[in-house]
Structure 1
Amino acid sequence: MKHIIEATGNLTFLIENDRDREILEDIKDRVGGNDVRFLDDMLDQLGFLGNAKLFGIAPVDVGALTDAPMLSDAIDLQDDGSIVVLGNVWWYPNYEVEDFAERLIERGSVTFQAAA
């Protein structure tokens, strides 16, 4: 799977092959409707986390008043376990009405909106 940062600043994930889709389906089966857990596992299993490209973050890490799945391209993990977000932030604004994992698996792509 790859990701593209659009000219608008939004981040789009694209499934490139059947193996990536199978991995995503396995994650979805394992975590069910927990979109935050799905995002974390997706980033880990598809090499984004291990290669320090993208990190799942909690809305509280950026002072957001939402439960939307969020990610960043740069964080600093503090000694107390808290996270300081240093980079860009993206979120999935339709989280209340649409499961981004299902959209990604079914359509082959999903876009996270750049945070202001």
Structure 2
Amino acid sequence: MINEKETNYSHTEEFRKRFGERLRDLRTKRGHSIEQAHKALNKPRSTYAGWELGKRVPLSKSLNDLAEFLETNVDYLMLNTDNPNQDSKKDLKDVLKTEVNEIVYDGKSLTDDQRSTIAALIEAYLQNGEK
């Protein structure tokens, strides 16, 4: 996984390598050549090849375009998930329990107790709806 101390886009060499491998794997699984990929993304061949070779990581706009072209999601490209499905769904129950470090509502961070209470309220609401 990514070194947690990395907080900007000067990613580690290991991250860039894994990013490039993931990008190349997706491209080949989707049946696209490098030529098709760089033309579809309107990027120079050298730029796209640099991504696959792990020399650089694209900026956010290009990441979104890549995800769309490769029928995946940015989280998968950025190694945040192993789920390559384009419409990666997250179970709210998992999110409220453990998936993220911080959940914010109306600009205020929720405590662990508040998250648990919200999860219990949703659970009770859904159970009542099934009766």
Max Rg structure: 2
TM-score by length of 1: 0.27
More strand by share: 1
Higher relative contact order (CA 8 A, sep 6+): 1
TM-score by length of 2: 0.25
More helix by share: 2
